């Protein structure tokens, strides 16, 4: 929808077409609220994408699992399948011989 032309609305009011002017104002108010909501959603999406970029810069994939490298320290390991498919860092649990993912039930011989 085009931006409201203030002069057109004033002219409608001067002509006595206040109901028509009010309808135009209400339509534009509704459009404004939709744009405001879309703007908020895009800001949230942008924030999440930036967070994911920073996370991927700190991740190290050793060919089997992911490790988070923070301040020179390796943290993990994390499930490769969960991160690649759902972008979630799921810490692997120590089993008898393997490291297990409690979410996707993958196991890794580390």
Q: Give me the domain span that covers residue 28.
A: 1-58
Report the pLDDT value the prediction gives residue 110, as an integer from 0 to 100: 77
Measured distance CA(85)–CA(70) in Å, rounded: 23
| Claim to verify: residue 52 and residue 29 sit in the same structural domain | yes
pLDDT at 1 over 70: no
Q: Read off the pLDDT of each residue in 29-33 and give the average, rounded to a whole number.
A: 91
| Claim to verify: residue 53 and residue 40 sit in the same structural domain | yes
| Claim to verify: residue 22 and residue 2 sit in the same structural domain | yes
| Claim to verify: residue 45 and residue 16 sit in the same structural domain | yes
In sequence order, the β-bridge partners of residue 93 are 100
| Claim to verify: residue 54 and residue 71 sit in the same structural domain | no
Percent with pLDDT over 70 in the chain: 96
Give per-residue pLDDT as tens, 37-82: 999 999 999 999 998 888 888 999 999 999 999 888 999 999 999 9
| Claim to verify: residue 35 and residue 71 sit in the same structural domain | no
Residues 6+ positions from 62 with CB-CB distance below 8 Å? 77
| Claim to verify: residue 45 and residue 73 sit in the same structural domain | no
């Amino acid at each position: 929808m085009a931006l409201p032309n203030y002069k057109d609305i004033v002219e409608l009011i001067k002509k006595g077409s206040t109901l028509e002017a009010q309808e135009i104002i209400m339509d534009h108010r509704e459009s404004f609220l939709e744009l405001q909501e879309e703007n908020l959603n895009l800001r949230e999406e942008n924030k999440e994408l930036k967070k994911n970029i920073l996370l991927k810069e700190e991740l190290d994939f050793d060919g089997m699992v992911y490790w988070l490298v923070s301040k020179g320290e390796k943290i993990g390991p994390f499930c490769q399948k969960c991160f690649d498919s759902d972008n979630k860092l799921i810490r692997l649990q120590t089993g008898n011989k393997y490291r297990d993912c409690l979410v996707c039930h993958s196991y890794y011989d580390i």
